[in-house]
Chains A and B, each alone.
Chain A
Amino acid sequence: MTDQEKIAMLEEIWELDEGTLATDTVLADVDEYDSMAKLSLIVLMDDEFGVKLTGDVIKGFKTVSDILKLMVIA
């Protein structure tokens, strides 16, 4: 799966326009990245990648790239 495909998944769950996110996008600058967006991310990672995200791991995400690194199919 390419980075672009992973980014498209994030844009879909956060209901962002295509092309809004890039690998170096700072999450703090994304208005839509709120508690529900984080919950959506938890569900996506569990459903699609079998990754269980914890609060501490999510707090450590600074850029989109940090998330992409965990979007790996086991």
Chain B
Amino acid sequence: MNAIIDLSNKRILIIGASSGIGKQTAITLSQVGSKLTLVARNEEKLKMVLDDLEGEGHDYFVADVSDVAVIESMIKEIVEKDGPLDGLVYSAGVGMAIPFMQSKPEKVQSTFNVNFFGFFEVVRQISRKGRFNPGMRIVGVSSCASLRGDKSKAIYSSSKAAMDSAVRCMAKELAEKEICINTVAPSMTATELYNYYIEKYGKDSKTNKELLTRQYLGIAQPQDIANAIAFLISPAARFITGITMPVDGGLTTC
């Protein structure tokens, strides 16, 4: 068999691996041979994800990456224990709907800490000499919200747009180190966040019906996003860097 995506023995770090897209990505990457190091705040949830993985050699690390001060020591410890990295998936993120006029500075700060500053610092730390193998690939989980304007999304959208914009710049500098970096931009995906959204608005609500009109292939499953990540993190995508790839059921065509 000539598998397009083969990550046998590649050490991939997944930040935000305990739920949603991060969790599904971990399961998917383990199925194509990766050895994973999972990071999240909740140890119990991480252990449950570990139980779902295929193969051996997986590891986990408990940390809250919204505190950027812990990132350098975390990366050092992970590399010392698990070896240099072949890839990073940054899936940590928060995304509450907050009307602009209630978007106080502390809310902006706390969202950016997780969605952007954590990502920025993790990429910086893993890209230091000795911490990665040649050909390392990085995928950040952004959002289609970064590409569109919407009410109550000023904080979330700008935090993801910051991620996309940084990636375009990082790609140019990191190419010298044979590192490629991209983001995926999912639209609404069936995760806990979507369940919260449905609980808040209701499945038959006007808001949800309008969403499904724009996102005309339906609600994405975490597997849809994990598949796109698996491609971008693999050597098959070696000629792709600095992009934001929508995985959006048609949303950005509307």
User: Which residues of chain A have a CB within 8 Å of any CB of chain B?
Assistant: 13, 15, 35-36, 39-40, 42-44, 47, 53-56
> Binary interface profile of B, 108-129, with partner A (CB < 8 Å = 1, else 0)?
0000000000000000000000
Residues of A within 8 A of B101 (CB): 13, 15, 40
Contact B207 A42 (CB under 8 A): no
Residues of A within 8 A of B207 (CB): 35
Interchain residue pairs A-B with the least CB separation, the first 6:
A55-B202, A43-B102, A40-B99, A55-B200, A54-B199, A55-B201
Contact A44 B102, CB 8 Å, known A36-B151, A39-B97, A39-B152: yes
Minimum CB–CB distance from B94 to chain A (whole Å) comes to 14
Contact A13 B200 (CB under 8 A): no
Residues of B within 8 A of A39 (CB): 97-99, 152
19 more A-B residue pairs beyond the given contacts A54-B200, A55-B200, A55-B205, with a C-beta to C-beta distance below 8 A: A13-B101, A15-B101, A35-B207, A36-B99, A36-B151, A39-B97, A39-B98, A39-B99, A39-B152, A40-B101, A42-B200, A43-B96, A43-B98, A43-B102, A47-B102, A55-B199, A55-B201, A55-B202, A56-B202
| Minimum CB distance partner of B106 in chain A | A47
Residues of A within 8 A of B202 (CB): 55-56
Contact A40 B102 (CB under 8 A): yes
Contact A43 B199 (CB under 8 A): no
A35 and B201 alpha carbons, distance in the complex (Å): 9
Contact A43 B200 (CB under 8 A): no
User: Which residues of chain B have a CB within 8 Å of any CB of chain A?
Assistant: 96-99, 101-102, 151-152, 199-202, 205-207
A47 and B98 alpha carbons, distance in the complex (Å): 11
Minimum CB–CB distance from B2 to chain A (whole Å) comes to 49
Residues of B within 8 A of A42 (CB): 200
Residues of A within 8 A of B152 (CB): 36, 39
| Minimum CB distance partner of A47 in chain B | B102
A54 and B198 alpha carbons, distance in the complex (Å): 9
Contact B102 A13 (CB under 8 A): yes
Residues of A within 8 A of B99 (CB): 13, 36, 39-40, 43
Residues of A within 8 A of B102 (CB): 13, 40, 43-44, 47
A40 and B151 alpha carbons, distance in the complex (Å): 11
A6 and B207 alpha carbons, distance in the complex (Å): 28
Residues of A within 8 A of B151 (CB): 36
A3 and B28 alpha carbons, distance in the complex (Å): 54
Residues of B within 8 A of A15 (CB): 101
Residues of A within 8 A of B201 (CB): 55
| Minimum CB distance partner of A46 in chain B | B96
A38 and B53 alpha carbons, distance in the complex (Å): 41
A43 and B151 alpha carbons, distance in the complex (Å): 14
A55 and B201 alpha carbons, distance in the complex (Å): 5
Minimum CB–CB distance from B165 to chain A (whole Å) comes to 27
A42 and B151 alpha carbons, distance in the complex (Å): 15
Minimum CB–CB distance from B145 to chain A (whole Å) comes to 15
